[in-house]
Chains A and B, each alone.
Chain A
């Protein structure tokens, strides 16, 4: 016999079922956890759908998603010239710094944006097909990573042309990118339901992301800034640590321990918050986006 309020999923493929609204926190967490496991298990499905979505976004263009690479290239070269001049630094060293910083920031802000819109954007699909709810988050995060992959071509050019030194340290960036992915996924699990329930949060996230462009060291170095209260704002910005941890190994800069500690703390908070909010809201979510 099933418990009150459950939708029995034994027969459905890859379906965790819903915990009843009056279930204990443990039961809710169990259902949420099964949803996440099912979501990860159907990786073929959401990676395919992510690729299709990008393909369709650019369907009527010749260059497709490579437009994004070109956009990024134009943007960073422009930025490097102007800011290199203002800060009076050598363009050759500054260009990779700005470019990798911008690409990293694009990934971070893109994942945050995707996290906030993920369930509201999936409402059409949620009303017509039954998929693990986590798979919507995974698809949207995968889209951001595919775009990131296109942008990283610029970094590859830096490596080939010798603008950045080839060094073993570069490998440090790989686990950092993976952790950024973990953060993107779990932030979708708490930000997605929050935005579905409180629609003001969506525009709020966009506003914050817009300001974060300035409070994240993308086109300046932390050393360019003096100490003081305004500098503290950067220390409270999680993107500061994630970007530092990602960029420094890639451009051959010295690694800062604080960056990696910061990433660890942010990851723990995101995972905890994601599991808490997702398990508490999962059985209500279909009603909020209906």
Chain B
């Protein structure tokens, strides 16, 4: 079945838990007194309707805190929406979080390749079989047998990217972190992404780098404070996004819609 992402009326609300809300005694007393103070919430996503067909290459743009990472987490199934539905067909893999997210810092790069694959549903045996290809693509050479805490952020990103793309995802979700890799790796990563999309995979890439977006994506989604402002071909979405913060009027005009 062709990969597809379908979001309907998706809303994601974080409860802003302060020390007050974390306090069990206080909560208990509030229940006893039948008076509960509402928890502060941040609505990171609001009424997102989206259908992404196979072979899409989408660039996700928007200001810091616009909800880009939350949207990727929801698509990846890591964060259940507080309202609405998410339906993803195909195998979803996501490169999210900080450079070393999900890596064991004490373990070697080699051991981390296997552990990462195992956490993503592969067997240790399968991973050991695939390990040489992953190492080769990562370009980490002999450093692969060093513990990951000795790696730079860029190297950790390279390692994670190499594992993820070797697992043949149908849907690949990439956060800004990918921009940490160096130029040489970026070029090879770009080629690999190209092959992936040519095989009808779906790529969603959140980035602040227009060059990277233009290179990898053909359509765009502009998010602002949890709402989709515009979708369409990448160039025009980027143009609208950049215009929005250059002329304050434009943004209010759009958000009034």
Contact = CB atoms under 8 A, between A and B. Distances in A.
B90 interface: yes
Contacts of A237: none
A125 B22 contact: no
B89 interface: yes
Interface string A40-61: 0010110011001101110100
A13 B92 CA distance: 10
B199 interface: no
Interface in B169-228: none
Given A4-B84, A14-B121, A126 B89 contact: no
Nearest to A124: B101
A9 B85 CA distance: 12
A69 to B, nearest CB: 21
Nearest to A17: B77
Contact of A197 (B22, B82, B90, B119): B22
B92 A12 contact: yes
Contacts of A288: 15, 17
A199 B94 CA distance: 29
A45 B73 CA distance: 23
A50 B92 CA distance: 25
Contacts of A9: 77
Given A4-B85, A52-B104, A128-B102, A45 B121 contact: yes
Nearest to A15: B77
B91 interface: yes
Contacts of A8: 85-88
A201 interface: yes
Nearest to B3: A11
A21 B82 contact: yes
A178 interface: no
B91 A48 contact: no
Chain A: interface secondary structure? loop
Contacts of B115: 48-49, 52
A290 interface: yes
Given A13-B91, A125-B119, A52 B85 contact: no
A7 B86 contact: yes
Contact of A56 (B24, B81, B107, B116): B107
Interface in B108-136: 111, 114-116, 118-121, 123-124
A286 B94 CA distance: 16
Contact of B91 (A2, A12, A20): A12
A59 B106 CA distance: 8
A236 interface: no
A130 interface: yes
Contacts of B147: 59
Contact of B86 (A6, A42, A49, A55): A6
| Interface bin, chain A | 35 or more
Contacts of B46: none
A13 B85 contact: no
A3 interface: yes
Contacts of B89: 11
A283 interface: yes
Nearest to B96: A128
Contact of B83 (A5, A53, A128, A286): A5
Contacts of A131: 119, 121
Interface in A252-290: 283, 286-288, 290
B79 interface: yes
A8 B88 CA distance: 7
B102 A198 contact: no
A44 B124 contact: yes
A127 B101 contact: yes
Interface string A115-132: 000000000111111110
Contact of A7 (B81, B114, B116, B118): B81
B239 interface: no
A286 B78 contact: yes
A129 B111 contact: no
A53 B104 CA distance: 8
B10 to A, nearest CB: 9
B78 A127 contact: yes
B23 interface: yes
A200 interface: yes
Given A199-B22, A200-B22, A2 B101 contact: no
22 contacts: A5-B81, A7-B86, A11-B88, A11-B90, A12-B88, A18-B77, A20-B80, A21-B82, A44-B118, A45-B121, A45-B123, A52-B115, A56-B106, A56-B107, A125-B119, A128-B78, A128-B97, A129-B102, A130-B120, A286-B78, A286-B79, A290-B79
Q: Which 5 A-B pairs have the closest CB atoms?
A: A18-B80, A128-B102, A56-B106, A198-B24, A128-B101
Given A12-B88, A56-B107, 16 more contacts: A3-B85, A4-B84, A5-B84, A5-B85, A12-B92, A45-B123, A49-B118, A56-B104, A56-B106, A59-B106, A127-B78, A128-B95, A128-B97, A197-B17, A286-B78, A290-B14
